[in-house]
């Protein structure tokens, strides 16, 4: 008999309000025996991501809402500990969308076997720099708001999972000045100390527009927008002619469906001939091999800095998730370690 614990959506947050710990239930479960073609997986790491807040609302978006009473879903890296699928023998490391739980039974066809990460790199990198956040950063600076020689680049949520990689890819595309914003002194320090930014500022200290005027007096060519709201407004003011904005996320609205800051200077986009382009990274999976070749290579050569904030145990997941919206010092990719042993069942 295999037991597990999983986190379920206990109830939806109030419309227009932040999520709270009461929205989550941690439940003990007994897993069924795997049928033919199925495997038992023990998760080692799973991801908490801002987009999951949108899935807590009863609103259909580019991904369906989470169901009340059901386990949450999200990226996870685990090890097959019992197998009835010859393609996934015991010991295979797999990527899945069965996060927010310690163990699960699933068809092997729903799982993606993972190659070993570069030496010295944790497999949790497949949830961060080598996973969706790293790919999002790569698509943003490569395709959506391509960075060119001499560009001045501004990235918000710059110490986060996506921003910390976008800020490092920009100079490799030729950026001459890369500025980041973050929400705490430790995060702002990490921008220049760890992630290679030329300058950083706190969006909680003064007006973003004043910081941009000080740090980029000649204006900004590319804005990688992870937050929307006041920083998007300030970036539009600061953009130079033919500037490009990658609309990646709008976390300043909390993804709770409430009203955000009005972007009342969009008229400037006409005269400045700006391009503002929203994107969802899953539309671009055909380019994943190119991304993995470049960023995997940089990682193997130690040319890209990564940071993870790792929380031990499933129980910490709700607070870690809520922390993405509350500010604080979670730097880089936030992952939950389930403490799995990875030993095949019975050994
Ligand atoms: P992060 O690791 O950057 O965590 C989110 C960060 O957002 C927080 O740590 C916080 O940083 C910042 N933040 C939270 N609330 C606010 C606020 N009110 N105003 C300003 N900043 C705030 O998350 P990710 O790197 O995973 O994601 C970054 C963005 O990219 C998110 O908006 C996410 O939804 C989006 N995204 C989009 C994808 C796509 O396909 N378009 C794919 C993946 C992510 P700080 O404390 O520094 O303010």
Element (H, E) at 106: strand 103-107
For residues 179-196, give the mean pLDDT.
98
pLDDT of residue 62: 86
Q: 288-292: which pairs have CB atoms within 8 A and are 24 or more residues apart? A: 288/135, 291/134, 291/135, 291/138, 291/139, 292/130
Q: Is the dihedral of CA 55, 59, 65, 68 positive or negative?
A: positive
* Sheet containing 239-247: order of strands: 199-202, 177-182, 152-155, 220-225, 239-247, 275-278
Statement: residue 236 has pLDDT above 90 = yes
Structure-block tokens of residue 205: 């200290």
- Give me the percent of the chain exceeding a pLDDT of 70: 98
Confidence band for 260, pLDDT divided at 50, 70 and 90: confident
Cα–Cα distance between 300 and 136 in angstroms, integer?
Answer: 19
Query: By the 8 A CB rule, do 211 and 235 touch?
Result: no
Statement: residue 342 has pLDDT above 70 = no
For residues 70-84, give the mean pLDDT.
98
Q: Collapse the DSSP code of 83 into the 3-class scheme (helix H, G, I; strand E, B; otherwise coil) and give the result.
A: strand
Confidence band for 340, pLDDT divided at 50, 70 and 90: low
Confidence band for 346, pLDDT divided at 50, 70 and 90: very low
Burial 265-287 (b: 16+ CB within 10 A, else e): eeeebeebebbbeebebeebeee
Cα–Cα distance between 167 and 69 in angstroms, integer?
Answer: 39
Cα–Cα distance between 98 and 120 in angstroms, integer?
Answer: 25
Q: What is the residue whose two structure tokens read 């708001």?
A: 145
Structure-block tokens of residue 23: 């929205």
Q: Collapse the DSSP code of 287 into the 3-class scheme (helix H, G, I; strand E, B; otherwise coil) and give the result.
A: helix
> What residues have CB less than 8 Å from 193, skipping those under 6 apart?
none
Is 187 close to ligand 1, i.e. is its CB under 6 Å away?
yes
Which phi and psi angles does 81 have, rounded to 5°?
Answer: -110, -10
Is 251 close to ligand 1, i.e. is its CB under 6 Å away?
yes
Give me the DSSP letters along 70-99. Answer: SB--B-EEEEEEEES-TTS-TT-EEEESB-
Is 281 close to ligand 1, i.e. is its CB under 6 Å away?
yes
For residues 220-238, give the mean pLDDT.
98
Statement: residue 1 has pLDDT above 90 = no
> What residues have CB less than 8 Å from 336, skipping those under 6 apart?
45, 46, 47, 48, 99, 310, 311, 313, 314, 316, 317, 320
Statement: residue 258 has pLDDT above 80 = no
The mean-pLDDT minimum among 38-52, 163-177, 327-341 falls in: 327-341
From the list 75, 119, 118, the residue with the least C-alpha distance to 94 is: 75
Statement: residue 158 has pLDDT above 60 = yes
Is 133 close to ligand 1, i.e. is its CB under 6 Å away?
yes
* Spacing, Cα 35 to ligand 1 middle (Å): 39
Statement: residue 254 has pLDDT above 90 = no
Statement: residue 46 has pLDDT above 80 = yes
pLDDT, the chain, mean: 95
Give how far the C-alpha of residue 98 lies from the chain's centroid of Cα atoms, to the nearest Å.
16
From the list 55, 46, 99, 26, the residue with the least C-alpha distance to 315 is: 26
Which phi and psi angles does 214 have, rounded to 5°?
Answer: -75, -45
- Give me the percent of the chain exceeding a pLDDT of 90: 91
Is 50 close to ligand 1, i.e. is its CB under 6 Å away?
yes
For residues 158-168, give the mean pLDDT.
98
Compute the residue count for the chain.
347
Is 74 close to ligand 1, i.e. is its CB under 6 Å away?
no
Site to substitute for ligand 1 among 251, 255, 308, most atoms within 8 A of C-beta: 251
For residues 94-116, give the mean pLDDT.
97
Statement: residue 347 has pLDDT above 70 = no
Cα–Cα distance between 143 and 154 in angstroms, integer?
Answer: 16
The mean-pLDDT minimum among 15-19, 73-77, 235-239 falls in: 15-19
Radius of gyration in angstroms for the set of CA atoms belonging to the chain, rounded to a whole number:
21
For residues 269-277, give the mean pLDDT.
98
Cα–Cα distance between 264 and 268 in angstroms, integer?
Answer: 9
Structure-block tokens of residue 78: 């685990």
The model scores a pTM over 0.75: yes
Is 278 close to ligand 1, i.e. is its CB under 6 Å away?
no
Site to substitute for ligand 1 among 160, 277, 278, most atoms within 8 A of C-beta: 160
Cα of first residue to Cα of last residue in the chain, in angstroms, is 15
pLDDT of residue 60: 83
pLDDT of residue 261: 85
């Amino acid at each position: 008999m295999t037991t597990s614990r999983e986190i379920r959506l206990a109830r939806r947050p109030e419309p227009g309000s932040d999520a709270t710990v009461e929205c989550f239930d941690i439940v003990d479960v007994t897993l069924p025996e795997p049928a033919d073609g199925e495997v038992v997986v023990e998760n080692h790491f799973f991801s908490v991501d801002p987009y999951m807040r949108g899935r807590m609302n009863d609103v259909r978006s580019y991904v369906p809402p989470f169901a009340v009473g059901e386990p949450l879903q999200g990226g996870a890296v685990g090890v097959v500990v019992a197998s009835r699928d010859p393609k996934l023998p015991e010991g295979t490391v797999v990527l899945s969308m069965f996060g927010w739980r310690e163990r699960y039974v699933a068809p092997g066809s729903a799982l993606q076997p993972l190659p070993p990460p570069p030496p010295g790199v944790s497999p949790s990198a497949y949830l961060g720099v080598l996973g969706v956040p790293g790919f999002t950063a790569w698509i943003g600076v490569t395709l959506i708001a391509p960075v060119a020689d001499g560009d001045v680049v501004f990235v918000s949520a710059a110490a986060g999972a996506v921003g910390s990689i976008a800020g490092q890819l920009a100079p490799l595309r030729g950026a001459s000045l890369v500025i980041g914003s973050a929400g705490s002194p430790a995060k702002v320090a990490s921008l220049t100390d760890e992630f290679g930014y030329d300058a950083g500022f706190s969006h909680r200290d003064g007006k973003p527009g004043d910081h941009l005027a000080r740090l980029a007096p000649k204006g900004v060519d590319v804005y990688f927008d992870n937050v929307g709201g006041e920083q998007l407004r300030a970036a539009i003011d600061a953009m130079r002619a033919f500037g490009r904005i990658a609309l990646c996320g709008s976390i300043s609205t909390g993804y709770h469906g409430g009203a955000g800051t009005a972007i009342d200077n969009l008229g400037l986009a006409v005269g400045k001939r700006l391009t503002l382009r929203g994107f969802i990274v899953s539309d671009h999976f055909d380019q994943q091999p190119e991304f993995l070749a470049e960023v995997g290579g940089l990682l193997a050569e130690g040319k890209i800095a990564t940071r993870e904030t790792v929380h031990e145990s499933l129980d910490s997941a709700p607070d870690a998730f809520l922390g993405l919206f509350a500010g604080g010092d979670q730097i880089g990719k936030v992952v939950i370690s389930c403490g799995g042993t990875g030993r095949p069942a019975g050994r």
